[in-house]
């Protein structure tokens, strides 16, 4: 856990686009300690890093460093659509906004 503090972390998130095809996005930030937890500090606001995710964090290989926006570490995550009829108030906001096609 301490090895991540102050380092740049890439969230490599895989989801599906409107056509049901795999889509990938990278969000980055600096890892900070918040009490006993870690957060990813981002311009858009902090993103909580769940303890159960930390074992999946890996150092970034030099051959993919550019793709992962010059990050030191990467955390691969997958997401899915909200279940039908789900109330968005029941979910915690991540402040992560999937970019539209062609947006950088």
pTM of the model: 0.82
The predicted structure's pLDDT at residue 1: 63
Give Cβ neighbours of residue 29 (< 8 Å, ≥ 6 apart).
8, 9, 40, 41, 42, 47
Looking at per-residue confidence, does 8 or 96 come out higher? 8
The predicted structure's pLDDT at residue 79: 81
What is the rounded CA–CA span in Å between residue 104 and residue 101?
A: 9
For residue range 51-103, what is the model confidence (pLDDT) as tens digits? Answer: 999 999 999 999 999 999 999 999 999 887 777 777 767 666 566 666 666 65
The predicted structure's pLDDT at residue 101: 66
């Amino acid at each position: 856990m301490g090895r991540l503090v102050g380092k740049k972390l890439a969230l490599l998130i895989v989801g599906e686009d409107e056509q049901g095809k795999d889509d990938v996005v990278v969000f980055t930030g600096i890892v900070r300690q918040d009490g006993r937890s870690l957060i990813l500090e981002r311009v858009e606001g902090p993103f909580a890093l769940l303890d159960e995710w930390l074992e999946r964090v890996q150092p970034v290989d030099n051959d993919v460093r550019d793709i992962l926006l010059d990050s030191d570490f990467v955390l691969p995550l997958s997401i899915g659509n909200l279940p039908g009829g789900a109330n968005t108030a029941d979910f915690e906001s991540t402040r992560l906004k999937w970019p539209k096609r062609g947006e950088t």
